[in-house]
């Protein structure tokens, strides 16, 4: 078994993120590496959005010193053959850098960019804090090293005051001087990235469950798009995947060069088509059949039977783990999932719903006839949905009406005088009516008033509740002028 695991765990391209103070040359450096002109197009030279790219280093053989700069340029082949590295260029301090999905980091290695002519700035310190909190290895790149005012030692001294332990000074953090203009030190930086990747054994398996992270999103004529990086597993066209918002089928994949591909492997980026909604940046993309999302979903479920005022409790069942998580992630804060699970609706769900005065929402889950009968007997309302949109519409309707659910519905079929007052002889049509319930009295679909049930009797015996099909006498407080034919609705708000 161990042998098989070793065979499937392969070295993958490291995911490298650039962090640092604005205008310290992050994008210019990455621009040199990937041989584009992104920096010139950006407002004020400051990155306005996340960029993700992939390059492959390739040796070109011995050359003269005068040709070193050109060699470096020719030695970097975006998307070409050779050892691949995936880069993320981030806006500002890149707060999203340390975002995690089910404990997985977005980046494997960080490059802390500090301008050698400007030194450590507040945003540099903030970026360093993100790196430390993420617990990933990092390299310090002192940019603009070709400027007369550049000082590598100043950068080293200032960062040591922030607690950075450099190589040769009691730590293992490399410090390299680089220039995004001339290319000085770029080759050494790439070699260092490869070395750090090897030392930390950055690996992935195309055969394992998919783990991908959304880096940036957008919309075009084809609909919502998302740039993702695969950390593990394989993302393929035609595959059904799950995000925190939906379950969807991948309609198209495009690599860093804009070429249509059928699949992408660990460590690789791609533009994804097929989402109905724009997924949140930093969110995860999983295989639909990955049972580990149940654990993620359970973190969002409130496993208690007490609900705060104004919240609406439900019991949620879904056909699979992906759908369960997607529905839970889509629910507004007013909805509290008392219990969420995969599979058909069962008797246990009915009893949980009854004890918590909840509805049961079944999303693509079957409701056995025996369970439906039990729900009817216990006065538990079941709602079945096959489309997320319809489920959310129902939720919105419940919130707008300010109702949790109709606990019970009864019709007044007779009136009895009692000490100058009246008792409503009632038949329970739906759910159950309980003593001390708050009820709404309806006449011809119009509200007559809101009252409380003071007592209930079946014959001469006091009872606490009456269920569907049963008859009982109900005494209200305060008294209302009700008539035969009026409807009583027991509503929890």
pLDDT tens digits, 214-265: 887 777 777 888 888 998 899 999 988 887 666 788 999 988 778 899 999 9
Cα separation of 476 and 423, whole Å? Answer: 8
Residues 6+ apart with CB under 8 A from 121: 21, 24
Lowest mean pLDDT among 21-30, 208-217, 423-432: 21-30
Q: For 331-439, where are the alpha helices, taking DSSP H only?
A: 347-355, 369-378, 388-401
Confidence tier at 305 by pLDDT (50, 70, 90): very low
Helix axes 388-401, 321-330, angle to 10 degrees: 30
pLDDT of residue 313: 87
According to the model, what pLDDT value does residue 413 have? 95
User: Are 370 and 325 spatial neighbours (Cβ–Cβ below 8 Å)?
Assistant: no
Dihedral through CA 106, CA 59, CA 186, CA 107, nearest 10?
0
Element (H, E) at 330: helix 321-330
Q: Which residue has the higher pLDDT, 129 or 90?
A: 129
pLDDT for the residue 65: 33
CA–CA distance, 154 with 473 (Å, rounded to integer): 87
Q: Which architecture characterizes domain 2-203 according to CATH?
A: 3-Layer(aba) Sandwich (3.40)
User: Rounded CA gap, 492 and 401, in Å?
Assistant: 11
Give exposure, 264-281, as e/b (b: 16+ Cβ within 10 Å).
Answer: bbbbbbbbbbbbeebbbe
Strands annotated E in 390-458 = 405-418, 421-434, 438-443, 446-458
**CATH fold for domain 405-492:** Elongation Factor Tu (Ef-tu); domain 3 (2.40.30)
* Residue, of 361 and 11, whose pLDDT is higher: 361
From residue 21, how far is each of 88, 127, 329, 335 by CA, in Å?
Answer: 15, 8, 34, 41
Higher-pLDDT residue of 138 and 440 is 138
* Residue-level pLDDT at 438: 76
- 284 pLDDT more than 70: yes
Confidence (pLDDT) at 402: 60
Res 437: pLDDT: 77
Local confidence band at 87 (pLDDT 50, 70, 90 cut-offs): confident
- Of 167-171, 267-271, 355-359, 480-484, which gets the smallest average pLDDT? 355-359
pLDDT at 234: 93
pLDDT in tens, 129-156: 888 878 889 999 999 999 999 999 999 9
Mean pLDDT of 406-428: 87
Q: Residue 63: what pLDDT?
A: 32
Is pLDDT above 50 for 80? no
State residue 176's pLDDT score.
Answer: 96
Burial of residue 144 (CB within 10 Å: 0-12, 13-18, 19+) is: buried
What percent of the chain stands above pLDDT 90? 25
Please state, for a pLDDT cut of 70, what percent of the chain lies above it. 79
The more confident residue out of 467 and 341 is: 467
> What is residue 4's predicted lDDT score, i.e. its pLDDT?
40
Which pLDDT score, from 0 to 100, does residue 120 have?
Answer: 92
List the CATH code of the domain at 211-287.
2.40.30.10
**Residue 399: band (very low, low, confident or very high) from pLDDT cuts 50, 70, 90:** confident
DSSP string, 103-136: TEES-SEEEEEEETTT---HHHHHHHHHHHHHT-
Q: What is the pLDDT of residue 321?
A: 64
pLDDT at 57 > cutoff 60: yes
Residue 454 in this model has a pLDDT that exceeds 90: no
Q: How confident is the model at residue 444 (pLDDT cuts 50, 70, 90)?
A: confident
Residue whose structure tokens are 């009692």: 418
| CATH superfamily assigned to domain 293-401 | Translation initiation factor IF- 2, domain 3 (3.40.50.10050)
Residue 367's pLDDT band, with cuts at 50, 70 and 90, is: very high
The predicted pLDDT at position 470 comes to 93
How many CA atoms within 13 Å lie on the side-chain side of 324? Answer: 28
Name the nearest CA neighbour of 16 among 77, 95, 71, 84: 84
Please, which pLDDT band fits residue 1 given cuts at 50, 70 and 90? Answer: very low
Residue 125 contacts by C-beta under 8 Å, 6 or more apart in sequence? 162
Q: What is the pTM of this model?
A: 0.54
pLDDT, position 44: 40
Q: How confident is the model at residue 291 (pLDDT cuts 50, 70, 90)?
A: low
Average pLDDT of 8-28? Answer: 82
Per-residue pLDDT at 89: 67
Locate CATH 2.40.30.10 in the chain.
211-287, 405-492
426: pLDDT strictly greater than 90: yes
Q: Is residue 303's pLDDT more than 60?
A: no
Domain with CATH 3.40.50.10050 in the chain: 293-401
pLDDT band at 290 (very low <50, low <70, confident <90, very high): low
Write the CB contacts of 216 (distance below 8 Å, at least 6 apart in sequence): 49, 50, 51, 52, 226, 227, 281
Mean pLDDT for all residues in the chain: 78
């Amino acid at each position: 078994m161990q042998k098989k695991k070793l065979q499937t765990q392969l070295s993958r391209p490291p995911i490298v993120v650039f962090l640092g103070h604005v205008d310290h040359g992050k994008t210019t450096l990455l621009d040199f590496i990937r041989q584009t002109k992104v920096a010139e197009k950006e407002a004020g030279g400051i990155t306005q959005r996340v960029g993700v790219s992939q390059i492959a280093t390739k040796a070109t053989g011995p050359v003269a010193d005068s040709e070193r700069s050109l060699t470096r340029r020719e030695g970097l082949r975006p998307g070409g053959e050779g050892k691949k590295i995936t880069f993320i260029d981030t806006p500002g301090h890149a707060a999203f850098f340390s975002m995690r999905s089910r404990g997985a980091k977005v980046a494997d290695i960080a490059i802390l960019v500090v301008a050698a002519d400007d030194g450590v700035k507040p945003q540099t310190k903030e970026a360093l804090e993100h790196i430390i909190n993420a617990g990933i290895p990092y390299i310090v790149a002192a940019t603009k090293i070709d400027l007369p005012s550049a000082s590598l030692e100043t950068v080293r001294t200032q960062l040591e005051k922030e607690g950075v332990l450099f190589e040769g000074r009691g730590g293992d953090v490399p410090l390299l001087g680089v220039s995004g203009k001339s290319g000085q030190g770029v080759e050494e930086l790439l070699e260092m990235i490869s070395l750090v990747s090897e030392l930390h054994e950055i690996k992935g398996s195309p055969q394992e469950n998919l783990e991908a992270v959304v880096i940036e999103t957008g919309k075009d004529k084809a609909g919502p798009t998302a740039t993702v990086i695969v950390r593990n597993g394989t993302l393929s066209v035609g595959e059904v995947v799950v995000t925190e918002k939906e379950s969807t089928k991948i309609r198209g994949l495009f690599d860093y060069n804009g070429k249509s591909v059928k699949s992408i492997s660990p460590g690789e980026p791609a533009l994804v088509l097929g989402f109905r909604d724009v997924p949140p940046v930093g969110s995860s993309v999983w295989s639909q059949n990955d049972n580990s999302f149940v654990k993620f979903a359970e973190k969002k479920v409130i496993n208690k039977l007490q609900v705060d005022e104004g919240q609406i409790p439900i019991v949620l069942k879904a056909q699979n783990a992906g759908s369960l998580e997607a529905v839970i992630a889509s629910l507004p804060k007013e909805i509290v999932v008392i219990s969420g699970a995969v599979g058909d609706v069962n008797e246990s769900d009915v009893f949980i719903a009854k004890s918590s005065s909840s509805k049961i929402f079944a999303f693509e889950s079957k409701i056995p006839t025996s369970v439906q009968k039990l729900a009817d007997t216990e006065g538990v309302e079941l709602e079945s949905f096959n489309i997320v949109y319809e489920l959310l519409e129902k939720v919105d309707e419940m919130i707008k009406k300010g109702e949790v659910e109709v606990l019970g519905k009864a019709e007044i079929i007779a009136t009895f005088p009692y000490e100058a007052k009246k008792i409503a002889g009632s038949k329970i049509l739906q759910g159950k009516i309980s003593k001390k319930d708050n009820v709404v009295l309806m006449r011809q679909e119009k509200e007559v008033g809101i009252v409380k049930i003071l007592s209930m009797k079946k014959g001469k015996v006091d009872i606490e509740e009456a269920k569907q099909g049963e008859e009982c006498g109900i005494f209200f407080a305060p008294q209302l002028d009700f008539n035969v034919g009026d409807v009583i609705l027991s509503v929890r708000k």
